Amino acid sequence: MKVIVDMDRCQDHGQCVFSAPEVFRLDDAGHLVYEADPDESLRDAVEEAADVCPLQAITVG
Amino acid sequence: MDRVVIVGASMGGLRAAEQLRAAGYEGELIAIGDEPHMPYNRPPLSKEVLAAEVTHAAVAFRLRDSVADVTWRLGTPVAAADLDAGELTLADGSTLACDGLVVATGLRPRRLPLPGGEDRRHVVRTLDDAARLRPCLTPGARVVVVGAGFVGCEVAATARTLGAEVTVVAPETEPMLRPLGPELGAALRARHEARGVTFHLGATVRAFTDTGVTLSSGADLAADVVVEAVGSTPRTEWLEGNGLDLSDGVLCDGTLRVEGRPNVVAVGDVARFPNPRYDDVPRRVEHWSIPTDTAKRAARTLLGEDGGPFLPLPSFWSDQYDLRLQSFGAPALGEDVRVLEGDLETEAVVGHHRDGRLVGVVMLGMARRMAHYRGRLLDDVPALT
- The minimum CA-CA distance between A5 and chain B, rounded to whole Å, is 13
Tell me whether residue B313 is in a domain: no
- Distance from C-alpha of A30 to C-alpha of B353, rounded to nearest angstrom: 28
The pLDDT value recorded for residue B287 is 93
Indicate whether B199 and B128 sit together in one domain: yes
DSSP assigned state of B36: S
- The minimum CA-CA distance between A47 and chain B, rounded to whole Å, is 10
User: Which residues of B are less than 8 Å from A1 in CB distance?
Assistant: none
Domain of residue B137, residue span: 111-228
Indicate whether B192 and B265 sit together in one domain: no
Indicate whether B115 and B218 sit together in one domain: yes
pLDDT tier at A28, thresholds 50, 70, 90: confident
Indicate whether B17 and B88 sit together in one domain: yes
- Distance from C-alpha of B214 to C-alpha of B202, rounded to nearest angstrom: 14
- Distance from C-alpha of B52 to C-alpha of B43, rounded to nearest angstrom: 14
The stretch B140-166 carries a mean pLDDT of 97
- Distance from C-alpha of A52 to C-alpha of B374, rounded to nearest angstrom: 14
Tell me whether residue B316 is in a domain: no
Indicate whether B52 and B150 sit together in one domain: no
ipTM confidence score: 0.91
Indicate whether B99 and B240 sit together in one domain: yes
- Distance from C-alpha of B210 to C-alpha of B107, rounded to nearest angstrom: 30
The pLDDT value recorded for residue B159 is 97
At residue B316, what is the residue type? F
- B99-138, pLDDT tens digit by residue? 999 999 999 999 999 999 999 999 999 999 999 999 999 9
Count of alpha carbons within 13 angstroms of residue B210, beta-carbon side: 0
- B8-35, pLDDT tens digit by residue? 999 999 999 999 999 999 999 999 999 9
State the DSSP string of B186-199: HHHHHHHHHTT-EE
Q: What angle do CA B27, B33, B38 make, to 5 degrees?
A: 90
Indicate whether B121 and B190 sit together in one domain: yes
Judged by a CB distance cut-off of 8 A, whether residue A1 touches chain B is no
Nearest beta carbon to residue A51 from set B48, B292, B368: B292
Q: Number of helices and strands (H, E) in chain B? A: 9, 26
Helix (H) or strand (E) holding B17: helix B11-22
Contact: A26, B59; criterion CB under 8 Å: no
- Distance from C-alpha of B295 to C-alpha of B30, rounded to nearest angstrom: 15
- Distance from C-alpha of B314 to C-alpha of B284, rounded to nearest angstrom: 11
User: Which residues of B are less than 8 Å from A4 in CB distance?
Assistant: none
Judged by a CB distance cut-off of 8 A, whether residue A51 touches chain B is yes
Q: Is the predicted pLDDT of residue B337 greater than 60, yes or no?
A: yes
Phi, psi dihedral angles at B317 (to 5 degrees): -140, 165
Which CATH number fits the domain that encloses residue A28? 3.30.70.20
**B interface mutation test: which of A5, A56, A58, A60 has the most B CBs within 10 A?**
A56
- The minimum CA-CA distance between B322 and chain A, rounded to whole Å, is 11
The stretch B204-214 carries a mean pLDDT of 97
What percentage of chain B has pLDDT greater than the value 90? 94
Q: In what order do the strands lie in the sheet with B348-354?
A: B315-320, B323-329, B357-364, B348-354, B336-342
> Residue B310: CB partners within 8 Å, gap ≥ 6?
B254, B255, B256, B273, B275, B276, B297
- B171-191, pLDDT tens digit by residue? 999 999 999 999 999 999 999
Q: Is the predicted pLDDT of residue B385 greater than 90, yes or no?
A: no
Tell me whether residue B295 is in a domain: yes
- B258-281, pLDDT tens digit by residue? 999 999 999 999 999 999 999 999
The pLDDT value recorded for residue B54 is 84
Domain of residue A13, residue span: 3-60
Please report, for residues A18, B7, B196, B234, the alpha-carbon distance to residue A25 in angstroms, rounded to integers and kept in the order given: 9, 37, 36, 37
What percentage of chain B has pLDDT greater than the value 70? 99
The stretch B37-53 carries a mean pLDDT of 91
Domain count, chain A: 1
The pLDDT value recorded for residue B384 is 67
Contact: A30, B15; criterion CB under 8 Å: no
CB B174 within 8 A of CB B186: yes
Q: Is the predicted pLDDT of residue B301 greater than 60, yes or no?
A: yes
Residue B274 in 3-state DSSP?
coil
Indicate whether B103 and B125 sit together in one domain: no
Q: Is the predicted pLDDT of residue A36 greater than 90, yes or no?
A: yes
A12: closest chain B residue by CA: B367
The pLDDT value recorded for residue B383 is 77
The stretch B93-102 carries a mean pLDDT of 97
Average pLDDT for chain B: 96
Indicate whether B29 and B78 sit together in one domain: yes
